[in-house]
Amino acid sequence: MSDSSSTEVLVAILRTEIAGLAPGDRLPSSRDLIARHGVGPVTVSRAIAQLAAEGVVVTRPGSGTYVSARRPRHVDEASDTSWQAVALAGRGQDPVTGLVEADGPADSPQAGTIALHGGYLHEGLQPARALGAALARAARRPDAWHRAPVAGLAPLRAIFARQAGTGVDPEDVLVTGGGQGALSMLFRAIAAPGGPVLVESPTYPGALAAARAAGLRPVPVPMDGDGIRPDLLADAFAMTGARLLYCQPTFHNPTGAVLSAERRRQVVDVTRAAGAFLIEDDFARHLGHGRTVPRPLVADDRDGTVVHLTSLTKPASPSLRIGAVIARGPVMQRLQGMRLVDDFFTARPLQEAAVELVSTPAWDRHLRALSSALRDRCAVLADALARELPDWTLAHVPAGGLHLWLRLPATLTEAAVAGAARAHGVAVNAGRRYFPAEPPAAHLRLGFAAAADPAELTEAVRRLAAATRRPS
C-alpha cells in the first residue's frame, strides 16, 4: 500500500475514533498508533498533520495530540441556518430578494443562450483597449495609491460638472462608486424611513429595491410616451405628502421615453412647489443613438430641487464603477457625511483611470462608435420583432438607451413567455418587476446591447417566435 493510501486509511480510522471522544481528550501517542495500526511513523505524522489542518485535532509539542474544542463540519453534514429566520424576523421581508430572483442568474446564463436581458454592453462594444491604456497610465501616477478626497478627485469632478452643463460647478459634484450605490445613499439621505417616494410607473427595479431597503414606500405615478405626467405628479404629491421623486427623464428604463421639453420644466416646478427633491437618474447620458440628447434637469435648476445622478459604467464597462451625484445646499453636506460613514471615498486608482479615459480622443471615438452600434442594433431588433411577432406591441422605437419595452398579447403571460424563451436559449426580463404596484398588463424588456452582434438579435427573435408558438 502506498504512503498516501495508508495515510488516507489512517485518517478515516482516526476520524471514527475521534467522533466518540470529547473535546480536549488526548489521542494515543504516535508510538501507540504505529503499533496498533501497523503503519510507519511517516504515515502517522502525515495523518495527524492533515487532521490538524482540518481543525479536527490540535497538537501540543511535548504533550501530545488532542481533540479540538470546536470540530469543523464535514462536507456531507447538512447545515442548519434555520435560527436566522428568527433573528431576521424583525427586519421584515428582504426588499432585494425579488430583484435577484425575478429573472434567474443574470450574470451566468447557460452556454448558447442569447442575452436580451441585463443592462450592460457586450464585451465587443466596450472600449477595452482604451480602458486598459487608461488604467496603465493611472497606475504610473506617483500618487495613484494615495487617499482620495471625500468628494472625489478635482479633475474628475470638473469633468462631471462640464458634462451636466452650464451652471454646475465642480464643488457641486460628489464622485461615487457607480450609480446603484449612489442611489441607495440618496434614498437614505433624503427621505425618512417609512415615508413615500414617488416613482414613474414602470421604473428601474434597482431603484425600487434601493428605496425599499431604505425603508421607503414607492408610490407609482403613471407615464405616457412623453414621460411622467405632471398633472398626476401634482396629485401624488398632494395625496401622499412625499418629499422625494425619483425619475429618469432621458431614455427611461425600461420604456426608452424622453421627458418632453415642456414637461421637463413642469416636473421640476411641481416638485419645487411641493417642497420636495427630485432625483434625476441620468444613467443613459452617453447612450444616445445619434440625436441630440436633452440637457439634464439639473442644468436649469437654481434652487437645489434637482439631485442629479450619473455614471460612466453603462457606456464603458460594468467594472468601471465610477459615477457622480450633483447637489447643492445642505443636502450635499449630508451626502458627504454619509460617504464618510459608508466607505470614506471612491478608490483613487479607478478615479484616476476614469480621468485618463474620458480625457482622451479615444473616449469621443468610442462614444461615436457606440452611438452608431446601438442605433443599428435597436433597428435590427425592432424590425425582427415586427416581422416575427407582429402581435407584440412596441410603443415606440427609442432614440437612446439599451432596451425595447413590449406589451404582450392578452393570451400570453410573462412567466410563460420568459420560461419558454429560456428553454429556447433566450434570456429576457419579465416586466412585472418594473412596476411598483400591480402591472396593468404583461410586458417584456428586451435588450439589444448584451448580445454578441446584430445577427444574434435576429436569431433571438426567431427563437422567441418559436417559443411562443410551442411554449415549453
pLDDT digits (tens, 9 = 90+) for 78-133: 667 777 777 776 655 555 555 544 334 445 567 789 999 988 999 999 999 999 99
CA distance 138 to 426: 39
Task: Render pLDDT for 356-402 as a digit per residue (tens, 0 to 9).
Answer: 999 999 999 999 999 999 999 999 999 999 999 999 999 899 999 99
pLDDT given for residue 344 in this prediction = 86
Burial class (CB in 10 A: 0-12, 13-18, 19+), 240: middle
At residue 90, the pLDDT reads: 64
pTM of the entire predicted model:
0.79
User: 3-class DSSP state for residue 111?
Assistant: coil
Let me know if residue 449 belongs to a domain. yes
CA distance 125 to 417: 28
CATH of the domain at 317: 3.40.640.10
Asked if residue 254 lies in contact with residue 206, where contact means CB atoms within 8 angstroms, the answer is no
Report the distance separating Cα 460 and Cα 115, nearest Å: 8
Return the C-alpha cell found at 7.
495515510
- pLDDT for the residue numbered 102: 39
Residues with Cβ within 8 Å of 193's Cβ and at least 6 positions away in sequence, in order, are 214, 215, 216
Instruction: Say which residues have a Cβ less than 8 Å from residue 172's Cβ, sequence separation at least 6.
Output: 161, 326, 327, 328, 332
The C-alpha cell 430572483 sits at: 101
Evaluate whether residue 88 is within a structural domain. Answer: no
CA 179-317-280 angle, to 5 degrees, is: 25
- Tell me the per-residue pLDDT of 290-346, one tens digit each, with 9 for 90 and over: 988 999 999 989 899 999 999 999 999 999 999 999 999 999 999 888 888 888 888
Distance of CA 419 to the CA centre of its chain: 23
CATH number for position 36: 1.10.10.10
CA angle at 81 for the pair 76 and 86, rounded to the nearest 5°: 165
**pLDDT for res 436:** 93
Is the pLDDT at 410 greater than 70? The verdict is yes
CA neighbours closer than 13 Å in the CB half-sphere of residue 431: 23
State how far the Cα of 241 lies from the Cα of 244, in Å rounded to an integer. 9
Q: Which residues contact 153 (CB under 8 A, 6 or more apart)?
A: 175, 348, 351, 352, 355
So what's the pLDDT on residue 55? 84
For residues 272 and 329, membership in a common domain is answered with yes
Could you tell me if 223 and 343 lie in one domain? yes
Burial class from Cβ neighbours inside 10 Å (0-12, 13-18, 19+) for residue 106 reads middle
User: Within this chain, do residues 190 and 329 fall inside the same structural domain, yes or no?
Assistant: yes
Domain co-membership, 304 together with 451: no
DSSP per-residue letters across 18-40: HHTSPTTPBPPPHHHHHHHHT--
Amino acid occupying residue 110: Q
Helices 41-53, 3-19: axis angle to 10 degrees equals 60
Per the structure block, which three cell numbers stand in for 150?
471625500
Regarding whether 215 and 106 lie in a shared domain, the answer is: no
Instruction: Decide if 134 is inside a domain.
Output: no
User: Are both 348 and 448 inside the same structural domain?
Assistant: no
If asked whether residues 210 and 304 sit together in one domain, one would say yes
Co-location of 157 and 251 in the same domain = yes
Whether 72 is covered by a domain: the verdict is no
Q: Which CATH number goes with the domain that contains 434?
A: 3.90.1150.10
pLDDT for residue 108: 56
Q: Show the cell assigned to 368.
A: 461615436
Q: Both 44 and 118 in a single domain?
A: no
CA dist 267 and 216 (Å) reads: 21
pLDDT digits (tens, 9 = 90+) for 166-183: 789 999 999 999 888 899
Please report whether residue 210 resides in a domain. Answer: yes
Residues 116 and 153 in one domain: no
Give the count of domains, the chain.
Answer: 3
Query: What is the predicted pLDDT for the residue at 160?
Result: 95
Is residue 132 in a domain? no
Contacts of 202 (CB under 8 A, 6+ apart): 223, 254, 255, 405, 431, 434, 435, 439, 443
Indicate if 353 and 413 belong to the same structural domain: no
Which pLDDT belongs to residue 450? Answer: 94
DSSP 284: T
Would you call 154 helix, strand, or coil by DSSP? helix
Q: Is the separation of the CB atoms in 418 and 433 below 8 Å?
A: no
The span from the CA of 122 to the CA of 248, in Å, is 23
Residue 78 has a pLDDT of 63
Within its chain, how far is the Cα of 232 from the centroid? 30
Of the residues 337, 359, 381, the one at which a domain ends: 359
The answer to whether residues 379 and 342 belong to one domain is no
- Residue 398's domain spans which residues? 102-124+363-469
Task: Give the pLDDT mean for 146-162.
Answer: 92
Range of weakest confidence among 45-54, 79-88, 450-459: 79-88
Condensed to tens digits (0 to 9), the pLDDT of residues 33-46 reads 998 898 888 899 99
Instruction: Flag whether 282 is in a domain.
Output: yes
Pairing of strands 196-201, 244-247: parallel
Last residue of a domain, one of 310, 326, 359: 359
Distance between CA atoms of residues 106 and 97, nearest Å = 14
Strands 306-311 and 323-326: antiparallel
Nearest-angstrom CA–CA distance, 331 and 308: 12
Q: How far is CA 87 from the centre of its chain?
A: 27
Cα 305 from chain centroid (whole Å): 27
Name the band, by pLDDT with cuts 50, 70 and 90, for residue 19: confident
* Distance between CA atoms of residues 191 and 330, nearest Å: 14
SS3 of 210-235: HHHHCCCEEEEEEEECCEECHHHHHH
* In-domain check, residue 83: no
